[in-house]
Amino acid sequence: MVAAMSIFPFPKFSAVLDVQLDQTGADGTLSLIHVPLELYSTFLQPILQVLLPQSQAAAAAAAAAGNSELGGGRLEGLTVDNQHGFLNISVTPIECSIVCHSAWARNVFDPAIRKLPREIARNVSVSRDSYVVFSVISAGMDAGSRVVDLTSPLALAGIPIFFITTYYSDFILVPTKDRQAVVKTLLARGFVFSEEDESTFKSPVASASHNRGIISSSTREPPSTPPPSTLGELQNRTFVQLKKQNVVPYVEEGLRLIQCSGREQRNNMNIRGYERPSLSRAQMGMGTGGSGNGVSKRRCWVDMVDTKLYTSLVSALVSKPRFLSITLAQDDPPSLLLDKELLGMFGDSLVGPTEGDNYLVPIFLDLANLPFEATGIVSGVAGKLVQDMQMLECPELSYLSTARAGAVILSAELSTRALDILKPLLDKTPTGSQ
């Protein structure tokens, strides 16, 4: 069985037994940026600069200004068709968090940080480590078990992760130094790694045994504390760690979220049944021919979505939203998780469950006192909820990691039940106290 050739911006895993292999663009050059909410207005211009479509004119201007990484005819961090390889901008009640290419962190955010007084600038943080992002194809897996099945093996291996659920895909961010350990760990659990020059389906066993240098022994240093050996131990450690750092789960009163996507102008369908482009290599400018001057015309994702989405996003960001998370990834249309109160700004530029009384509720965990390299948080919390709520068939559990926080996202009914489970586990009140 032969799969059609496609280009992915980062490695992909699939829960199905066989999948095409592809490894394009896994250079591990993402940074995580934390901006306190009180400084959000100061960083709005850099945020918009990263978000808005880039052009050759922008590249030329950057080159003229001496920013070679953002100039030279092609902006670093953008694909050949002018898409972000990966970008997440999240504004929550806890923080503003950005995941972007490290070149953008250095050339857009660092200058803004340097302009601040030193005592204020120290409140903004940019991750020291670089990160790589894995996209997960999880057809056939329900959302509750998917989060646990993906994150548990990595937590048991002592690998720190950030997890982002979007309308189309799940994304796992890991330190670049842990990349090979992630591949090795997930392959051992039956996931299949995708690599560019293979166009035939292969079984997990075949992929693992014919690794072609991809899966070598990890160079990670062993953790100072051995990772847990069972899921039960993992959950216990997670809640001990959270309780020690005074992490209290809570819900923002009246905050209702909608997960949706930017509307596409094409009527093709993606694996979840929503509209999604399906361009050939020639349409993407990757074949022979072109504009007549020897340069292939590359498409930008803005050519495939309702352009009203841009002005709506700018309006929403300028309003300092209560909650807005935007994810751009090369293989997906723009994905949004937003406060339902913002829907009026977007009109008909969105697709998804935007009508009726359906909405999601986030349970927030402020993780500011935990180090970036803390492990097991996503798996421990989600695993406990799935276990105690007996919700392995529930399609509504998702998770959003930001730089210094996490949010478990559930239906309104399930969020109430989830809080009843989490609060006693993190309550520091001695037994018998009033």
User: What would the pLDDT profile of 24-36 be if each residue is shown by its tens digit?
Assistant: 334 568 999 999 9
Name the residue with higher pLDDT: 233 or 208.
Answer: 233
| Total Cβ atoms within 10 A of residue 298 | 15
- Per-residue model confidence (pLDDT) at position 191: 77
Whole-number percent of the chain with pLDDT over 90 = 39
Alpha carbon distance 205, 187 (integer Å): 8
Average pLDDT over residues 69-89: 67
Please check the confidence at residue 345 and state whether its pLDDT lies above 90: yes
- Per-residue model confidence (pLDDT) at position 255: 97
Alpha carbon distance 182, 167 (integer Å): 24
E strand map for 356-397: 360-366
| Total Cβ atoms within 10 A of residue 294 | 7
Name the residue with higher pLDDT: 340 or 3.
Answer: 340
Please check the confidence at residue 188 and state whether its pLDDT lies above 50: yes
Q: If you write DSSP's letter for every residue of 212-271 in order, what string do you get?
A: TTSSPPP-PPPPSSPPPSSHHHHHHHHHHHHHHTT---B--TT--EEEEEEPBSS--B-T
Spell out a b/e string for 63-85, using b for 16 or more CB atoms within 10 Å of the CB, else e.
eeeebebbbeeebbbbbebbbbb
Please check the confidence at residue 329 and state whether its pLDDT lies above 90: no
Average pLDDT over residues 268-294: 35
Alpha carbon distance 157, 74 (integer Å): 38
Pairing relationship of beta strands 12-14 and 131-137 according to DSSP bridges: parallel
Name the residue with higher pLDDT: 264 or 215.
Answer: 264
Tracing tokens 């106290």 back to the chain, one arrives at 433
Confidence of residue 395 (pLDDT cuts 50, 70, 90): low
Average pLDDT over residues 195-215: 30
Alpha carbon distance 112, 332 (integer Å): 30
- Per-residue model confidence (pLDDT) at position 69: 53
Cα angle vertex 364, ends 272, 399, to 5°?
Answer: 20
| Total Cβ atoms within 10 A of residue 212 | 11
- Per-residue model confidence (pLDDT) at position 210: 31
* Per-residue CA distances from 198 to 122, 204, 371, 394 (Å): 46, 14, 38, 35
Please check the confidence at residue 118 and state whether its pLDDT lies above 90: yes
Please check the confidence at residue 376 and state whether its pLDDT lies above 60: yes
Amino acid (one-letter) located at 341: E
Please check the confidence at residue 282 and state whether its pLDDT lies above 50: no
Tracing tokens 């250095």 back to the chain, one arrives at 106
**Cα-only R_g, the chain:** 21
Task: Give the helix/strand (H/E) hosting 417.
Answer: helix 412-426
Average pLDDT over residues 39-60: 77
* pLDDT mean across residues, the chain: 74
Written as six digits, the tokens of 369 are: 């006192």
Least confident among 290-294, 388-392, 405-409: 290-294
Written as six digits, the tokens of 254 are: 């009246």
Under 8 Å between Cβ of 120 and 39: yes
Alpha carbon distance 220, 179 (integer Å): 9
Amino acid (one-letter) located at 16: V
Confidence of residue 52 (pLDDT cuts 50, 70, 90): confident
